[in-house]
Amino acid sequence: MTKDAFQPFEPNIGIIGLGYVGLPLAVEFGKQLPTTGFDINEQRVAELQGGRDSTLEVSQQELASASKLDFTSDAAELGRCNVFIVTVPTPIDQHQRPDLRPLQQASRLIGSVIKPGAIAIFESTVYPGCTEEACIPIIEEVSGLQFNRDFYAGYSPERINPGDKQHSVSNIIKVTSGSTPEVADFIDALYRKIVTAGTHKASSIMVAEAAKVIENTQRDVNIALINELALIFDRLNLDTLEVLEAAGSKWNFLPFRPGLVGGHCIGVDPYYLTYKTLEIGYHPEVILAGRRINDNMGFFVAERIVKLMASRRINIVDARILIMGLTFKENCPDLRNTRVVDIVSELERYHAAVSVFDPWVDQQQALDQHDIQLIPEPQTDSYDAIVICVAHDQFKQMTAEQIRQFGKANHILFDAKHVLAKDDVDGRL
């Protein structure tokens, strides 16, 4: 393949995908450079044009501050752009295999509007090699242009943490890469316009892809170790948090906690890496073992709840159980891959009547995504069991006595997120 010299230009940016990753990025670029935010969801585009972000990642004031940012669902409007940044979801299917359809659709879209000299940058989490193996060929086919001669590519993995107001696009170090050294320099300089924390320029697109996918794989494995310890300590009648706090008195002990591992990153990204490793003939053991442990923690929590109820002679059949929190993490409305649903489904298998309360979640979204009808407010003196599943600020501001008011005279209170003190609950993870 002949690589022609890249000619730098004044960026006109198109962000494809306006979710938790794409919108904050579009806002930051839109403060300085002409930026078009594109999404196929017309309702999403309409709300952003009206100055509202339903994900609660960007405030109305922040949206207004991006004076050079426009939103559209019309692909033709991307034709004015010369830098395309892809921030679409990269989920897994029911068999834990990468679902590249959103990424492929975005690549076809770019191929239909890209012009010679332009750059396509991917931020979506993928396996090493995916950008050049799965995305670039689609752009070439649709556009008729040749990679690294007529157009170029880069990869700069997203590091957005939904609900985290301390770590934003601008103050998290950004990994960058490009398909030629000149393109890599251009992309790095582009991101340095908005990332005050600085950048780390990787030597290749594959290095940047691999760096991203192991960030969350490392966290997944670490949490899996602590979750397995929680399973062991439960059998030893030890309180896991007490043990971790004691061990944490050593300066280099890592402060991980047991819990449900969901969301669009930690619970998904390792499967992208294992997919690629199996393709090259290596069977990963530690990574998949960690995934199995973490994927089963919801069922362990449900089992603990049932045993606690039995110890109080509370019949699980037709018992009323209150689940507090449905999102995959605290203080955000994101329901993607939430493992709270495992607790709900397992308790329902015992024929319990489960009510779910989450003040952060849109009721229709919970119904559409998980077939769960949220309750507007818990009722007092009504529940045989109360389970704190997500550490929303609204729940952390409540005392144990206030939460127990939802329970019947004889009930159990289980805390899966260590919101309350040990002595204030009947059980905790």
Annotated catalytic sites, by residue?
Answer: 265
d(Cα 65, Cα 392) in Å, to the nearest integer? 29
Which H, E and C letters describe the chain, residue by residue? CCCCCCCCCCCCEEEECCCCCHHHHHHHHHCCCCEEEECCCHHHHHHHHCCCCCCCCCCHHHHHHCCCEEEECCHHHHHHCCEEEECCCCCECCCCCECCHHHHHHHHHHHHHCCCCCEEEECCCCCCCHHHHHHHHHHHHHHCCCECCCEEEEECCCCCCCCCCCCCHHHCCEEECECCHHHHHHHHHHHHCCCCCCEEECCCHHHHHHHHHHHHHHHHHHHHHHHHHHHHHHHCCCCHHHHHHHHCCCCCCCCCCCCCCCCCCCCCHHHHHHHHHHHCCCCCCHHHHHHHHHHCHHHHHHHHHHHHHHHCCCCCCCCEEEEECCCCCCCCCCCCCCCHHHHHHHHHHCCCEEEEECCCCCHHHHHHHHCCCCCCCCCCCCEEEEEECCCCHHHHCCCHHHHHCCEEEEEEEEECCCCCCHHHCCEEC
Instruction: Determine the residue type at 375.
Output: I
